[in-house]
Amino acid sequence: MELYFLGTNAGVPTLQRNVTSIGLRMLDERRALWLFDCGEGTQHQILSSPLKLSKLEKIFITHLHGDHVFGLPGLLSSRAYQGGTTPLTVYGPPGTERMIMTTMELSQSRLNYDLSIVEHTGGVLFEDESFIVESALLEHRIDSYGYRITEKDRPGSLDPAKMAEYGLKPGPLFGRLKRGETITLDNGDSLRPEDVLGAPKRGMVITILGDTRPCDNVQPLAINADVLVHEATFLHDLADTAHEYYHSTSKQAAEAARAADAGQLIMTHFSSRYKDEDQLQPLLEEAQSIFPNTKLAIEHELIPVVHRKSES
């Protein structure tokens, strides 16, 4: 899995940064792309990226402020022209469906793919054999949600030495064991997957928060996450301003990552007062003094998701 930041600015776009949108590329896991928020200009940013709308499977909206959703109608309308004809599901807070459908109706837009819209107020939003997506309410001027994406543990690798002990050679039986099936050997004995598989491979956990000031639901969403994506709109010398506008500082983002024992913190949603990467360095230094494994979200940078601690 890889994160790709399409927009990292707060409020309005600038010449240096676009407004919020984050791609989660999951080509190895499910040959899919998930998108988190869709600020104005997102589809244009995608044209300059390695992301493909033909792979887009789900969009998760954190909240309905314009810098997080004004790019959504355009992207939905033009997705098919970039090869996106497979079903698409949009998850968002109450009001998401009305916003999308009103825009589509008034613009007389026609979609040639199946669009599902799931409104929620938190909880488990999606689960299949590979992933669970949960959400919880944060603290912002309007309802804003954070998302926790948990990849389920995967079977361990086949142990060649153990397979040889049972006289097994590469073939269909290998696949059945990897899928968790018990097989019958030529001598009639049963062979369980756990007899020849290594330890399960721990799945990744990614937490992506919407706009928020510090609140109780941050930690349960972020606990033990391999990667925490947290807004850091201001330096901490503007903590009063951040609180007034329901945002967080870089210090508060770092404190959240440390309290949750996250593996890595990626800060985003920067105030336009910080014009370029050089002016963002004080935010990075402030956060790293509390949580060293912190980085700034840089647009058009592909960030691999790695385990927070090495597997034993």
Which residues sit in the known binding site?
Answer: 63, 65, 67-68, 140, 211, 269
Distance of alpha carbon 66 from alpha carbon 73, whole angstroms = 12
Q: Do strands 32-36 and 56-60 pair parallel, antiparallel, or not at all (unpaired)?
A: parallel
Report the distance separating Cα 84 and Cα 55, nearest Å: 7
Spot the catalytic one: 37, 67, 143, 226: 67
| Cα atoms found within 13 Å of the Cα of residue 50, Cβ hemisphere only | 12
Binding residues for Zn(2+): 63, 65, 67-68, 140, 211, 269
Is residue 159 part of the annotated active site? The answer reads no
Q: How far apart are the first and last CA of the chain?
A: 21
Indicate which residues carry an active-site annotation.
67
